């Protein structure tokens, strides 16, 4: 048993040794819950499933984590054809106890088994269709549909009950009785079955009484003997025989016309109804198959897209690895600028773990030399008045490290832009110098230039 | 005497397996221990 408050495993304590929660009442609840579970188990064994369900629900109201009670409740729902309720209980049970729980086995055999899952869903769909037929007063179709469901799922109690209800409504009491006995065999304690059985028996006894009255009309008692004789009895002669014959023929024709012909017609209608139901079921099955195939197509399209993306990612990863090799080759050959340029274009995310380590080391080694070379080249160009080249080289430095050489790279880049009359970029660089290196001579000069260029740009 | 139409109202449509998980959320699984804990916390608040 676990503490309801902190979940620690308990022995016989009355107070939780971990959190100090009082356990006396909780133990009482657990005890009542177990008692009700045992009662339910006894009832389930004698097939009083309704009684067992009531006890198990009560048991779970005392202790919702009583896994045995919840699993049994699910099992009973499953037995009576209530697949969804069964799966619901097993899912809750598994939520409370993920390990060593029989509910996992039940879920494997139902929710995770495509065949069984489809059977349960089909059964639900057909039952719902039968209910729709009932509400549309198409009882013949409802009976056909229910018979079909019950041939595949003979333990669906509510299916037998609905079938019996239709039979009682139609006055087909024998068939109702048979359906109800099937329901009773699954769940002896079901009050709906009992009520329908009582109703069927009552109606049967009423119709039996009327037949008996008719029978008494041709029977009479003579002393202690009961004499039964045909109603029509008299002297028989040729004319009366001929008349009887004619009447007999007329009655025969009438019976054929009024009873046999409607029967044949009814059979034809019934056959047509069966065909319609079959067609409806086939359409429903086909629709389901189409839906399932569409889902498969969507899943496969997704797979194709993901495979395409994988291929594209792989190509990009190969390109990045190749660029890394180019950078490494340039570094070995002391062409630091080419190595730096190659490293700059590599997307690290596309590289493998080992390649990431290599690029990190290479970057650290290349960057310093690359920055130095670019800075020196930039400054040499700037000092010899080649401002285009200076801006190009210094921009490379600044893009990697804005604060290189205490801001001199950024400041001289601004100067090169100013001399090239690229006012906007020059203003941007001067402002950045002032922002990054406040209270320095560089910032003082930068601010001055920025102000001049700013007012010029405003004009 | 059973009234067919009235009786028919007691027969509810069945759900499908996919509905089982959503049904859990609509299903009240409060037990006596939850109620006891709630009462105790209300008493403490007072």
Task: Quickly state the pLDDT bin for A456 (edges 50, 70, 90).
Answer: confident
pLDDT of res. A236: 63
Fold (CATH) for A119-204: 1.25.40
Question: Chain A residues with CB inside 8 Å of B8's CB?
Answer: 131, 134-135, 165
Give the burial string for A201-236 (b: 16+ CB within 10 Å, else e): eebeeeeeeeeeeeeeeeeeeeeeeeeeeeeeeeee
Q: CB count, 10 Å around CB of A63?
A: 24
- Look at B11 and A135 and tell me if their CB atoms are within 8 Å: no
Cβ of B10 within 8 Å of Cβ of A192? The answer is: yes
Give B42 to chain A, closest Cα distance, Å. Answer: 16
Q: What is the pLDDT of residues A4-18, one digit of tens each?
A: 888 788 888 888 888
Counting one residue from chain A and one from chain B, the pairs whose CB atoms sit within 8 A come to 91
> Radius of gyration (Cα) for chain A, nearest Å?
46
Query: What is the predicted pLDDT for the residue at A209?
Result: 63
B32/A123 touch (CB, cutoff 8 Å), yes or no = no
User: B9 to chain A nearest CA, in Å?
Assistant: 9
The pLDDT, as a whole number, for residue B16 is 86
How far apart are alpha carbons A280 and A132 in whole angstroms? 13
Give CA separation, A206 vs A97, A174, A282, in Å: 55, 14, 42
Q: Tokens 């669906």: give the residue.
A: A156
Closest partner residue to B19 among A26, A84, A134, by Cβ? Answer: A84
Q: What is the mean pLDDT of residues A90-107?
A: 92
Name the CA radius of gyration of chain B, rounded: 19
Specify the 3-state DSSP secondary structure of A227: strand
SS3 A99: coil
CB contact under 8 A, A62 and B16: no
Q: Which two tokens stand for residue A236?
A: 């028989």
Which pLDDT does position A401 carry in this prediction?
A: 87
Chain B: nearest CA to A29, how far in angstroms?
A: 7
Rounded Cα gap, residues A351 and A313, in angstroms: 10
pLDDT at A384 exceeding the cut of 90: yes
| C-beta of residue A88 within 8 angstroms of C-beta of residue A76 | no
Are A26 and B33 an interchain contact pair (Cβ–Cβ within 8 Å)? yes
> Using the beta-carbon criterion (under 8 Å), do B1 and A63 form an inter-chain contact?
no
CA distances from B12 to A132, A162, A409, B19 (A): 11, 11, 80, 15
Other beta carbons less than 10 A from residue A178's beta carbon: 15
Q: Tens digit of pLDDT for each residue in A270-308?
A: 788 888 888 888 888 888 889 888 988 998 999 899 888
Does B18 or A233 have the greater pLDDT score? B18
Q: Given an 8 Å threshold on Cβ–Cβ distance, is A84 in contact with B20?
A: yes
B7 band by pLDDT with thresholds 50, 70 and 90 = confident
Residue A284: exposed, middle, or buried by beta-carbon count in 10 A (0-12, 13-18, 19+)? middle
* Residue B20 Cα, gap to closest chain A Cα (Å): 5
Q: Which residue has the tokens 């493998």?
A: A352
Please give the residue of chain B at the shortest CA–CA distance from A126: B14
Q: What is the mean pLDDT of residues A221-235?
A: 56
Q: Which of A31, A87, A130 to mutate to test the interface with B (most CBs of B within 10 A)?
A: A87
pLDDT at residue number A395: 93
Confidence grade of residue A142 (pLDDT, cut at 50, 70, 90): very high
As a whole number of angstroms, the distance between CA A53 and CA A51 comes to: 5
Contact assignment for B16 to A121 by CB distance below 8 Å: yes
Q: Do A128 and B16 touch (CB under 8 A)?
A: no
**Could you tell me which CATH class the domain A339-458 is placed in?**
mainly alpha
**Bridge partners (DSSP) listed for residue A219:** A228
Instruction: Name the packing angle between helices A261-332 and A353-383 (round to 10°).
Output: 50
Between CA A251 and CA A305 the distance in angstroms is 78
Which structure tokens are listed for A386? Answer: 């080649």
Among the partner-chain residues B10, B23, B31, the one whose CB lies closest to the CB of A88 is B23
Local structure of A138: helix, strand or coil: coil
Locate A117 and state its tokens.
């899952």
Q: Are A215 and A75 in contact (CB under 8 A)?
A: no
**pLDDT (mean) for A402-428:** 93
DSSP class of A404:
G
Answer whether residue B27 shows pLDDT above 80.
no
pLDDT score at A63: 92
Is residue A60 over pLDDT 70?
yes
The more confident residue out of A241 and A414 is: A414
DSSP A17: T
Which pLDDT does position A233 carry in this prediction? 52
In this prediction, residue A67 carries a pLDDT of 94
Contact A90, A77 (CB under 8 A): no
Main-chain phi, psi angles of A187, to 5 degrees: -135, 100
Domain with CATH 1.25.40.10 in chain A: 24-112, 119-204, 339-458
- Please give the average per-residue pLDDT across A393-409, as a whole number: 90
Contact A131 B11 (CB under 8 A): yes
For chain A, what is the mean pLDDT?
87
Protein fold of A24-112: 1.25.40
Query: Is residue A397 classed exposed, middle or buried when 0-12, 13-18 and 19+ CB atoms within 10 A define those classes?
Result: buried
Residue in A closest to B4 by C-alpha: A169
Query: For A62, which of B10, B17, B32 is closest by C-beta distance?
Result: B32
Q: What is the C-alpha separation between A27 and A33, in angstroms, rounded?
A: 10
Query: Does residue A144 carry a pLDDT above 90?
Result: yes
Nearest CB among B8, B17, B27 relative to A135 is that of B8
pLDDT of A73 reads 96
């Amino acid at each position: 048993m676990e503490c309801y408050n902190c979940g620690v495993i308990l022995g016989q304590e009355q107070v939780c040794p971990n959190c100090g929660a009082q356990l006396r009442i909780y133990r009482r609840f657990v005890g009542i819950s177990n008692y009700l579970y045992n009662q339910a188990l006894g009832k389930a064994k004698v097939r009083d499933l309704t009684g067992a369900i009531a006890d198990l629900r009560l048991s779970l109201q005392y202790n919702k984590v009583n896994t045995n009670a919840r699993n049994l409740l699910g099992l009973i729902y499953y037995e009576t054809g209530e697949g969804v309720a069964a799966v619901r209980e097993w899912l809750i049970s598994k939520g409370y106890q993920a390990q060593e729980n029989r509910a996992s086995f039940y879920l494997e055999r139902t929710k995770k088994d495509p065949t069984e899952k489809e059977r349960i869903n089909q059964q639900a769909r057909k039952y719902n269709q039968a209910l729709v037929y009932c509400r549309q007063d198409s009882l013949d179709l409802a009976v056909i549909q229910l018979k079909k469901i019950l041939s595949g799922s003979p333990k669906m109690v509510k299916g037998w009950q609905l079938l019996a209800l239709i039979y009682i409504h139609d006055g087909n009491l024998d068939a109702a009785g048979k359906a109800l006995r099937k329901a009773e065999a699954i769940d002896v304690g079901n009050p709906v079955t009992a009520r329908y059985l009582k109703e069927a028996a009552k109606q049967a006894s009423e119709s039996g009484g009327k037949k008996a009255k008719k029978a008494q009309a041709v029977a009479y008692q003579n002393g202690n003997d009961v004499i039964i004789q045909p109603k029509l009895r008299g002297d028989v002669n040729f004319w009366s025989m001929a008349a009887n014959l004619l009447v007999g023929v007329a009655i025969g024709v009438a019976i054929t016309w009024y009873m046999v012909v409607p029967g044949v017609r009814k059979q034809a209608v019934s056959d047509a109804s069966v065909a319609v139901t079959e067609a409806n079921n086939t359409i429903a099955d086909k629709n389901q198959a189409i839906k399932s195939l569409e889902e498969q197509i969507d899943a496969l399209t997704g797979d194709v897209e993901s495979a395409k993306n994988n291929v594209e990612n792989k190509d990009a990863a190969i390109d990045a690895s190749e660029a890394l090799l180019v950078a490494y080759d340039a570094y070995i050959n002391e062409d630091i600028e080419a190595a730096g340029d190659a490293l700059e274009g590599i997307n690290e995310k596309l590289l493998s773990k080992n390649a990431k380590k290599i690029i990190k080391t290479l970057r650290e080694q290349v960057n310093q030399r690359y920055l130095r070379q670019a800075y020196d080249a930039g400054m040499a160009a700037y000092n010899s008045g080649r401002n285009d080249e200076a801006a190009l080289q210094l921009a490379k430095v600044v893009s990697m490290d804005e604060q290189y050489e205490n801001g001199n790279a950024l400041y001289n880049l601004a100067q090169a832009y100013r001399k090239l009359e690229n006012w906007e970029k020059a203003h941007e660089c001067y402002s950045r110098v002032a922002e990054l290196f406040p209270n320095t001579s560089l910032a003082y000069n930068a601010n001055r230039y920025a102000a001049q260029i700013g007012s010029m740009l405003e004009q | 005497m059973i009234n067919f139409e009235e009786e028919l109202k007691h027969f509810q449509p069945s759900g499908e397996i996919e509905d089982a998980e959503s049904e859990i959320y609509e299903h009240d699984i409060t037990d006596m221990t939850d109620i006891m804990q709630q009462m105790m916390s209300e008493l403490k608040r007072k």
